[in-house]
Amino acid sequence: MAIIAPALQAIRLPATQVRRRRFTDDQVPFGSVLLRMLAGLVVLVVFTLPYLIMFFGSVKTKPQIRSVDPTYFPTEWRWENFATMWSTPETPLPQNMISTIVISTLATALVLVVAMPAAYYTARFVFPGRMVFLFLVIVTQMLQPALLTSGLFRQFLALGLIDTWAAMIFINAAFNLSFAVWIMHSFFAGIPREVDEAAQLDGAGRLTVLFRINLPLVWPGIVTAIVFTFVACWNEFAASLVILSTAGNQPLSVALTKFVGQYETSWHYVFGVSLVAIIPVVVLFMLIEKRLVGGLTAGSVK
C-alpha cells in the first residue's frame, strides 16, 4: 500500500494540474476587466449626458439659459418649472398627455387585434399569393406618414374624422401593422406544426390552439411588437401636426413645438416637457425588459 499510494497520487496529479491550469487560463485579466469597465463608463456618459443637460436646463430660469456665459449647472434651481409648465398659455399640456396616452394605447391594441391572427394564418397556412402578401406588408414599412400627409388629410376629411383621435388611431395602427405582422409571423413559424396537430387531436379548435397553445409560446414576440408599436405611436409627429388642429387633441410631440416661438423660445419648458414625455417609455422598457430581450434574441441560438 505504501508503494501504490504514491503511484495513485502520481496518476491523479496531472489531471488536477490540467484542471487548475484550465481554470487559471479561463480567468479574465484584471487589465481587460478594467478596460471593459472604462468602455462601459464612456458609453454610459455619452448616452446619459444629453438627458442630464435637459434636466439641468429644465430647472433653470429663462435668463440663465439665454445668458451669454451659460453654465451647465443652474445657479438658481427652479423646481417649480415642472409645475408651471402644465398651466402655460401656449398649450394645454394635461389634455395633450391624455391625448398621447389614448392614441398610443388604442392604436397599439388595434395593431395586436389585427396582427396576431394575420401572422398566425400566414405562418400556418399556404395559400395562393402568400409570399406576395408578405412582400406587400413589408413594402408598406417604406411609406412614412410625412410623405402621405396631404393624402391622409383629404381622406379623413372626406370621412368626417379630421381633428379626431380616431383618425390618429387608424393612422398609427396602419403604419405600425406591417412590423407587428412580420415579427409575430416569424415567431409563429418557429413553432412546430405538430404542436397544433396534437392539440387538435385532443379536440381543441383553431381559436383554442391560437390563444391557449400558441400565444404563450410566442409571448416574447408579442411583447416586442407591443413595445415598438407603442413607442412609434408615442413619438409620432408629422401626421398629428396635419390631422389634429385643436390644441387639446394634439399629442405631446406636437405640443412641444408650441414653446418654440419665432422670436423667443421657452427652453426650460421644452426640456421639462421632453423629460416628462420620456418617462412613460422608460418605465415601459423597465417593466418588460426581460421579455423584450428574449423577443429580440429569440432564434439566435439553436
**Whole-number Å distance between alpha carbons of 294 and 248:** 38
Residue type, 226: I
Residue 42 lies in a domain: no
Domain that holds residue 231: 90-297
Per-residue pLDDT of the chain (302 residues; tens, 9 = 90+): 444 444 444 444 444 444 444 444 457 687 788 888 999 899 988 888 888 888 988 888 888 887 767 777 888 888 888 888 888 887 899 999 999 999 999 999 999 999 998 888 888 887 787 778 777 777 777 777 677 888 888 889 999 999 999 999 999 998 888 888 888 888 888 888 888 888 888 788 878 888 888 888 888 888 888 888 999 999 999 889 999 989 889 999 999 888 887 677 888 888 888 888 888 888 887 777 666 655 445 544 44
Exposure class string for 3-38: b at 16+ Cβ within 10 A, else e: eeeeeeeeeeeeeeeeeeeeeeeeeeeeeeeeeeee
pLDDT of residue 293: 56
In a domain, 49, yes or no: no
Predicted local distance difference test score (pLDDT) of residue 21: 46
Evaluated on CA atoms 160, 166, 172, 174, the torsion sign reads: negative
What is the tally of structural domains in the chain?
1
Under a CB-based contact definition with an 8 Å cutoff, are residues 299 and 191 in contact?
Answer: no
pTM: 0.78
Neighbours of 226 (CB within 10 A): 20
Q: Is residue 94 situated within a structural domain?
A: yes
CA dist list (Å): 42 to 46, 51, 247: 6, 15, 41
260 forms bridges with which residues in the sheet? 265
Q: Residue 139 is part of a domain; what is its CATH number?
A: 1.10.3720.10
**How far is residue 221's CA from residue 107's CA, in Å, rounded to a whole number?**
18
Do the domain assignments include residue 34? no
Q: Which of 238, 211, 220 is nearest to 149 (CA)?
A: 238
CA–CA gap between residue 22 and residue 15 (Å, rounded)? 10
Tell me whether residue 20 is in a domain: no
Residue 5 lies in a domain: no
Predicted confidence at residue 112, as pLDDT, reads 92
Query: What is the grid cell recorded at 75?
Result: 445657479
Q: Which amino acid is at 2?
A: A
In a domain, 65, yes or no: no
User: DSSP secondary structure string, the chain?
Assistant: -TTHHHHHHHHHHHHHHHHHHHHHHHSPPHHHHHHHHHHHHHHHHHHHHHHHHHHHHHTS-HHHHT-SS--SS-SS--TTHHHHGGG-SS--HHHHHHHHHHHHHHHHHHHHHHHHHHHHHHHH---TTHHHHHHHHHHGGG--GGGSHHHHHHHHHHHT-TTSHHHHHHHHHHHHHHHHHHHHHHHHHTS-HHHHHHHHHTT--HHHIIIIIIHHHSHHHHHHHHHHHHHHHHH--HHHHHH--SGGGS-HHHHGGGGB-SS-B-HHHHHHHHHHHHHHHHHHHHHTHHHHHHHHHTTS--
Nine cell digits for residue 139: 413594402
pLDDT at 2: 44
Tell whether 46 is covered by a domain: no
